[in-house]
Amino acid sequence: MKNEDSMVRLESPPELSMPIGEAMFSQRAIRRLDKDRPIDDARIKILLDAASKAPNGGNAQPGRFLVVRDRDLIRRFGALYHEAWWAKRRDEYGWTDKKDIPVGSVYTMPALLADEMVNAPVVVLAFSIGNAAMAHSIFPAVQNLLLAGRALGIGSVLTTLHPQVMERVYALFDIPSEIEFYCCIPLGWPRGNFGPTRRLPTARTTYWNRWNESPPWAG
């Protein structure tokens, strides 16, 4: 446990009053953001404070979050995100253009995000310091950040990049090469609504005592 003396005990901010079930069950990817309505720093701090409270291995706290507010940096990052998004689709499906995306594809909205990232009011990038695999110490914090955003009415989506652009992203933000990148989260006030998502019933994604054995609620 590092920096023991400098650690703090944060109280829950009163703004995070939404019932946890409401936040979880209405969380959805918000990719259409109001580019003209800013998010104030106080709200950004609430999201980061919430992220800091998530569990992490041995309380070593390897998570680091880069908040990008500067319009010119977001514009340049947005161009790299667009390139990364299409590089990933090229690798996976051979797509190079929107006309390659099948009608009704789950990628229709993400393709719009690839266009709109340049206009996101805020972009948060999540990293870990140290050299071990730290996904179990980073993504719980990311989910706290997203849920706290939901509770404040701030839209977000958990998204990734592609190796093709990483060197340029690191250079753009002066990120040391030994730092590990995990994900990218645009933030903004939603154009559109939070609301229900569709999921497989947990009777099908939960096993009981042994693999492939159904839970009691499978009926």
Please report, as residue ranges, which positions from 115 to 174 form the binding site for a copy of itself (by CB under 8 A).
135-136, 138-140, 142-144, 146-148, 151, 157-158, 160, 173-174
Phi-psi region of 209 (alpha: psi -120 to 50; beta: other; left: phi over 0): left
* Residue 176, token pair as written in the block: 């040391």
Per CB under 8 A, which region of 79-87, 93-101, 104-112, 161-169 contacts a copy of itself? Answer: 104-112
Confirm or reject binding of residue 87 to a copy of itself (CB under 8 A): no
Confirm or reject binding of residue 197 to a copy of itself (CB under 8 A): yes
Q: Measured from the CB of residue 144, what is the shortest distance to a copy of itself in angstroms?
A: 6
Confirm or reject binding of residue 68 to a copy of itself (CB under 8 A): yes
User: Which residues, including other chains, have CB under 8 Å from residue 151's CB and lie 6 or more apart?
Assistant: 15, 16, 17, 18, 23
CB 66 within 8 A of CB 175: yes
CB 79 within 8 A of CB 161: no
Q: Measured from the CB of residue 100, what is the shortest distance to a copy of itself in angstroms?
A: 16
* Residue 28, token pair as written in the block: 């959805």
Q: Measured from the CB of residue 142, what is the shortest distance to a copy of itself in angstroms?
A: 7
Q: Measured from the CB of residue 15, what is the shortest distance to a copy of itself in angstroms?
A: 7
Out of 39, 44, 117, 187, name the contact with a copy of itself by CB under 8 A: 44
Phi, psi values for residue 41, rounded to 5°: -60, -35
Confirm or reject binding of residue 103 to a copy of itself (CB under 8 A): no
- The secondary structure of 29-67 as a DSSP string is ----B-TTS---HHHHHHHHHHHHTS--GGG---EEEEE
Confirm or reject binding of residue 54 to a copy of itself (CB under 8 A): yes
